[in-house]
Amino acid sequence: MSESKEKLKTNHKHEETRGGFLNKRYQAFLWAAVAAVAIYLIVRNIGAFGNILLVALGFGAVVLIHEFGHFIVAKLSGVKVEAFSIGFPPTLAGILRTEQGRRISILPRFFPKEDESVHSRLSFTIGKKGRASETEYRIGVIPFGGFVKMLGQEDVGSVKTSDDPRSYANKPVSTRVAIIAAGVVFNIISAMLLFMMVFLIGIELPPAVVGSVVPDSPAARAGLNPGDEIIEIAGKSENLDFSNIQVAAALSDRGEEIRLKVQRGEDPMDFTLVAEQIQTLRGEMRLFGIMPPQSLTIAKVSDVHTLHERTGLLAGDRITSVNGRDVQTHWHMETIVANCLVPAATVIAERTTETGEVELVESQIPLNFSPTERKVESESDLCHIYSMVPRLRVEVVDTESGLQEGDIILAIGDVENPTYKEMREITTEYEKRELPIKVLRTDANGAEEVLFVTVVPKRRPGGERVLIGIIPVLDAGHPVVAKTISVEDGPAKLEIPRGAVITAVAGTAVSSFYDIIREVGRYPGQRVVIDYRINNQVAVNVALDVDRPEDFVSVKSTFAEFVPFDDLKRLYKADNPIEAVGMGYKKTVMFITQTYLTLRRLVGRDVSPKNLIGPVGILAASYTIVAERPFVYYVYFLGLISACIAVLNFLPLPPLDGGVVVLLFVEKVKGSALSERTQGIIAYVGLVLIGGFFLYITFNDIVRSFFS
């Protein structure tokens, strides 16, 4: 009877072993199938795969350096390190020095052996006999970092009791603090080395030059002008680039005055600015209102055909003149365009042919009038022409609301011929409700038709404004007055009713606001008569005293078509290795300080978590840099990430390194370690908090990437 039972047990054990083996074979087959599909996709998209691999290796290297810090100090401190892995499991291969030689194990998870000394069915030993090592060096399948496995330490930061004197748990607190802190120190050192390499090679960055100024911003009120070069920020003057301006504003305290020294002409000038919350595409951010400088060179775009079809320009073209006037800088060109006040601008650009010859190309680029140049708080903030505000025309549509580019807005809700201010007020009032809009639409044959469209105004995720998915401009092509407004220090308000059509200026017929501007400008210092009609009734006229015709027109022209320009760049390069070390050190300190102050502002609610970029945003930015820019920019980005990781990893929250150090200090003060259960609870609470925060910013990343 007992023999029968033993036989049954043996058979049952064999069945379990056979079942486990089949299960492992099934897993191996599944992984082989996945690998085959992956290889097929890689071959079909070899360029994209190369970029993705470079991103993965770069981030893996940053994390690996952090773990290498733990590894080196642990080894030097006499702690038994059981494994050091490049990449995360499943393990692709492992190597361990034994007395018989170097044992190499291939895919041990999928081809295990019951005999632990063999470790894997796909294992073999090479090399000469010698002294055995305690550390297995592994290569993981997932190349996003690595890990160190020490005797006596768990991943959550708690410790396991052990009689082994080489256990991590049996080392003095000071030694354990050194081991834990080493990862952060190595990240800081690696950031300095990366930045040192960058500045030895040289990198082109946007200089600390004012490209343009946001209307009604701190920079505008202080009197900064496009082209001003900032040579000192809060006492710092060495190797300033545009990021220093952004950081100074973003990390300033509420109401804090930041002193800038600006080079304008021959003499430097001093300015004091207080950063304010300004609405951007990524939400509200603390800014000065200084935009980065751009060059006159057309940037690369994905849709080259559309760019050439709409503007006559190609990537690499360099604009040299606008309407017959030579341009030297981008801000000079913008000033010329702003004062054109005509339907289109004639642009001359230099183009380098495939043979290397430079030729001049001419193109006509349509111009638009923006409805306002500043935050609209009153009617006087609207752009006008001798107190007359033109109607609104739809320039860009990003929804399927039924509106189309070129639609002229005749009415929104109950308001006929609304101004931009009225449109904003009405759309806010109708948030999440149907809003009727009356438009004048011109078809491909030039026939005009009045149509009614219904839209539902909504707030964009993370945004403050209620939108209907359009960008409007002023309808300068038709001399129809939406409204006349009173302007301080401007022309007297003309008594012209809404919807009136201007027919003549000083007896000369006009058919657009361009004509009105031209004709009124012929009579400086005189009184002119403006004729108009309303609802096709008999003509009426009003008188306009043209005291300062150039000051009585607040509209500014901008390119109607999107014209992408490269950023203005300046080479930042060290003259020698010693200078490169200094530049690398200062850049590392800047990014460490920036990360710390960002976290502090986050706790103080001065910075919204919606403005932070999470893993998805970082990976997307990395891929863009790798795919579109020279490799030195990716090295610079990895230096930035290394500095940020150093700060984030030292936050006092288990299971981060900083949290583990806090627990070690508690142990030092208390005289004994907290219980494993208590450490585990603390670690898991920290893990939940950190995980929840990262899920939140990852959600914001996805919203920005796919829904903004």
Peptide bond into 90 cis (omega under 30): yes
d(CA 634, CA 691) in angstroms, rounded, equals 27
State phi, psi for 305 to the nearest 5 degrees: -60, -45
State phi, psi for 148 to the nearest 5 degrees: -120, 130
Tell me, letter by letter, the H, E, C secondary structure of 136-189. EEEEEEEEEEEEEEECCECCCCCECCCCCCCCHHHCCHHHHHHHHHHHHHHHHH
Q: From the candidates 16, 67, 334, 425, give the one annotated as an active-site residue.
A: 67
d(CA 487, CA 620) in angstroms, rounded, equals 47
Tokens of 573: 């390069």
Q: What DSSP element (H or E) covers 571?
A: strand 570-572
Pairing of strands 290-291, 212-213: antiparallel
Which residues, listed in sequence order, are joined to residue 572 by a DSSP beta bridge?
203
Say if CB 105 and CB 120 are below 8 A apart. yes
Tokens of 376: 């609209």
**Going along 217-343, which residue ranges are E strands?**
229-233, 258-264, 267-273, 276-280, 283-287, 290-291, 294-298, 318-322, 325-326
- Does 67 qualify as catalytic in the annotation? yes
Q: How far is CA 321 from CA 20, 427, 559, 581, in A?
A: 76, 41, 14, 43
Distance of CA 180 to the CA centre of its chain: 32
Tokens of 30: 């599944």
d(CA 30, CA 316) in angstroms, rounded, equals 49
Q: Using alpha carbons, select from 208, 215, 281 the residue that is nearest to residue 248.
A: 208
- Taking each continuous run of H as one helix and of E as one strand, the counts in the chain are 14, 34
Say if CB 391 and CB 484 are below 8 A apart. no
Say if CB 346 and CB 362 are below 8 A apart. yes
d(CA 639, CA 197) in angstroms, rounded, equals 10
Q: Is 16 exposed, middle or buried (0-12, 13-18, 19+ CB in 10 A)?
A: exposed
Say if CB 65 and CB 190 are below 8 A apart. yes
The residue count for the chain: 708
d(CA 213, CA 271) in angstroms, rounded, equals 14
* Residues annotated catalytic, as ranges: 67
